């Protein structure tokens, strides 16, 4: 074999070669999070603030409120960074299921790491992402406590300056017009880093800077032509070219409600009771309560044409459940309130401008005092059910050729509920679009969300027979729970677990409270929700379930509504004393289903009439009002 000159010299000892060593070390990741501003969804108490997780001191820590999911901890790096590594030093209270997310604007988040098998201690994660903000978003606790981090370390480097403009928004179009407004929508622009908002121009003048892909321009003149264009912008201030130009001409007049409050154009099923008294007096009592409710909770904060339902007793000042209540109530009260459509449209605008971060056709569940979505911006099923139902009511009331195409929005919302808030394996509602296969909440459902009349409306609006299957699944589950776990009372638990195997009441705290398996602050609505379907459809399953509840509570209290307690175990044992509209009012709808309960229904009605709106509780006040709407004969299914 022929050998090289080099090899011969080495063999002869006349030439030496250096020993092979390791390759040059890669540049070490740079810790970029120490001392940066940190915020969180909550803290356990003073001394556990979020900044203690970025202070380079492993003896101090951030800790969230205990027993509540989800929770998050966010770091603001000050500018866009390329993120290569995240290190989580957990205290004993760790996350089993969590995401690491990045964002350019603190609103729209991108997952760069997800896990459902966290085991605490130290998680040293190699990741790849870009953003100014980085957060840990915990959805499943590893302990009964909260989430707690000694240190939250982010490694990376400042991202290069962004000089690339977004693409132009596409397909600018009008979704609805009135004599004074034009509703616009467009396809999202794209960007190398991320689009943070848009600029809307009317006749060449900037009139709005929305964050989403829709905007309603109000204050216009009737019978007038306007030209619109839209541009996109990114976090660096780069602005796109203009979209296509759109010409909109406002019409001359509008229309009134087709089913005005008090018209009773939608009769109830045969044999359903109403409180004693003339119909006009019953209707007026509802209008009186509505005015008090409206004064206490309907707001127009943060500008932008929004209306909101204020929720002083919730975790945040605006929650999706309250907005859903507001949409159903205002659409129903059209005719009694000349401002109903204006308020409803403001609530619609709020819904459009606060989309879920997971499915943008759903409503983000919570907003803060600045009207910004918080806690991940994902959706809650209870709010979405009523939002979709309210949109269907509005379509029947006013048609869909005005400011907003209510029908189109409703169909999109309904389809999004089916896609991301119905468990395909069980046909039962999930807790929200944030729960997915494999997480600990996937086979948990909340009984107060089981609204059979809503499922009927969804079936009628979409023509999708899946809603019949979904409705039947929920009605069967109600019957099964009543038969197995509350045969003497008919009470339902707040939450049902193991819906894929042997459904049963929650064994303890699974989401909100140690009483998650009892008739508590969620399930208190079930006599109303079940009863609404019974009185409007006459369905045998709904009638049977409602009558079971009515028979027990009437006997339990001896026909005295003042004895209805705040919460019960499923066997009928009282949890708390006192009187609360959220607990006594719903039984009035169940009473309507029993021909032998006229005196009992009258007693419940009179107690509601004598109970003023609780201005500290949108929850109780909104339930009381909606129950009185039903009891007076004014609830209807679109």
Bridge partners of 214, per DSSP, are 185
**Following CA atoms 579, 580, 586, 587 in sequence, which dihedral angle do they give, to the nearest 10 degrees?**
-10
Residue 521 near residue 513 (C-beta atoms within 8 A): yes
Q: Active-site residue 339, yes or no? A: no
Three state DSSP letters for 505-537: ECCCCCCCCCCCCCECCCHHHHHHHHHHHHHHH
Residue 366 vs residues 345, 433, 476, 551: alpha-carbon distances, Å: 19, 14, 32, 37
What's the N-to-C CA distance of the chain in angstroms? 92
What are the structure tokens assigned to 89, written together? 């030093």
Residue 91 near residue 61 (C-beta atoms within 8 A): yes
Contacts of 172 (CB under 8 A, 6+ apart): 184, 185, 186, 228, 229, 230, 243, 244, 245, 246
Give the start-end residues of each E strand in 563-625.
566-568, 574-576
Q: How many residues does the chain have?
A: 638
Q: Active-site residue 162, yes or no? A: no
Catalytic residue among 366, 378, 382, 533: 382
Residue 345 near residue 353 (C-beta atoms within 8 A): no
- DSSP 8-state code for residue 231: E
Phi, psi of 104 (to 5 degrees): -85, -30
**Following CA atoms 554, 555, 558, 563 in sequence, which dihedral angle do they give, to the nearest 10 degrees?**
-60
Instruction: In whole angstroms, give the CA distance from residue 171 to residue 188.
Output: 9
What are the structure tokens assigned to 62, written together? 């951030």
Catalytic residue among 91, 151, 321, 516: 321
Active site residues: 321, 382
């Amino acid at each position: 074999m022929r050998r090289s000159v080099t090899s011969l010299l080495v063999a002869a000892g006349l030439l030496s070669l250096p020993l092979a060593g390791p390759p040059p070390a890669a540049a070490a990741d740079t810790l970029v999070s120490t001392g940066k501003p940190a915020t969180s969804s909550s803290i356990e108490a003073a001394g556990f603030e979020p900044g203690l997780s970025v202070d380079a001191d492993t003896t101090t820590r951030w800790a969230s409120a205990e027993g509540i999911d989800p929770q998050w901890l966010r770091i603001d790096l000050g500018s866009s960074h390329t993120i290569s590594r995240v290190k989580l030093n957990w205290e004993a209270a760790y996350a089993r299921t969590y995401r690491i997310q990045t964002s350019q604007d603190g609103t729209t988040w991108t997952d760069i790491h997800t896990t459902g098998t966290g085991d605490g201690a130290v998680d040293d994660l190699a990741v790849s992402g870009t953003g100014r903000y980085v957060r840990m978003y915990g959805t499943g606790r590893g302990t009964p406590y909260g989430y707690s981090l000694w240190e939250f370390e982010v490694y990376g480097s400042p991202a290069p300056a962004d000089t690339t403009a977004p693409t132009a928004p596409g397909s600018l179009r009008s979704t609805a017009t009135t004599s004074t407004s034009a509703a616009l929508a467009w396809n999202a622009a794209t960007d190398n880093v991320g689009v943070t908002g848009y600029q809307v121009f009317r006749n060449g003048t900037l009139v709005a800077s929305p964050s989403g892909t829709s905007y309603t321009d109000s204050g216009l003149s009737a019978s007038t032509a306007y030209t619109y264009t839209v541009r996109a912008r990114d976090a660096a201030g780069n602005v796109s070219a203009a979209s296509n130009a759109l010409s909109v001409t406002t019409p001359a007049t509008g229309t009134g409600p087709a089913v005005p409050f008090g018209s009773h154009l939608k009769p109830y099923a045969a044999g359903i009771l109403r409180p004693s008294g003339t119909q006009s007096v019953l209707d007026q009592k509802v209008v009186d309560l509505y005015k008090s409710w409206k004064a206490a909770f309907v707001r127009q904060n943060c500008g932008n044409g929004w209306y909101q339902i204020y929720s002083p007793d919730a975790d945040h000042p605006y929650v999706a459940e309250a907005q859903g209540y507001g949409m159903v109530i205002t659409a129903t009260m059209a005719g009694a309130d000349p401002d109903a459509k204006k308020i409803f449209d403001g609530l619609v605008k709020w819904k459009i401008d606060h989309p879920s971060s997971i499915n943008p056709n759903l409503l983000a569940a919570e907003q803060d005092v600045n009207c910004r979505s918080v806690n991940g911006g994902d959706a809650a099923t209870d709010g979405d059910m009523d939002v979709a139902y309210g949109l269907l009511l509005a379509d029947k009331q006013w048609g869909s050729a005005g400011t907003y195409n209510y029908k189109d929005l409703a169909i999109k919302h309904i389809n999004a509920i089916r896609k991301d808030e119905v468990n395909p394996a069980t046909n039962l509602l999930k807790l929200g679009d944030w729960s997915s296969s494999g997480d600990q909440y996937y086979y948990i459902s909340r009984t107060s969300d089981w609204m059979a009349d809503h499922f009927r409306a969804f079936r009628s609006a979409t023509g999708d027979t899946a809603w019949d299957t979904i409705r039947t699944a929920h009605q069967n589950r109600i019957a099964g729970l009543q038969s197995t776990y509350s045969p003497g009372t008919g009470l339902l638990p707040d939450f049902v677990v193991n819906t894929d195997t042997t459904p049963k009441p929650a064994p303890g705290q699974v989401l909100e409270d140690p009483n998650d398996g009892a008739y508590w602050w969620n399930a208190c609505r079930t006599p109303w929700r079940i009863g609404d379907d019974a009185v409007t459809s006459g369905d045998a399953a709904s009638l049977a379930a409602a009558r079971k509840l009515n028979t027990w509570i009437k006997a339990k209290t001896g026909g005295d509504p003042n004895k209805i307690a705040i919460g019960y175990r499923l066997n009928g044992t009282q949890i708390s004393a006192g009187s609360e509209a959220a607990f006594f009012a719903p039984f009035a709808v169940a009473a309507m289903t029993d021909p032998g309960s006229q005196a009992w229904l009258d007693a419940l009605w009179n107690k509601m009439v004598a109970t003023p709106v609780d201005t500290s509780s949108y929850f109780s006040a909104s339930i009381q009002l909606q129950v009185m709407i039903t009891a007076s004969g004014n609830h209807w299914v679109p």
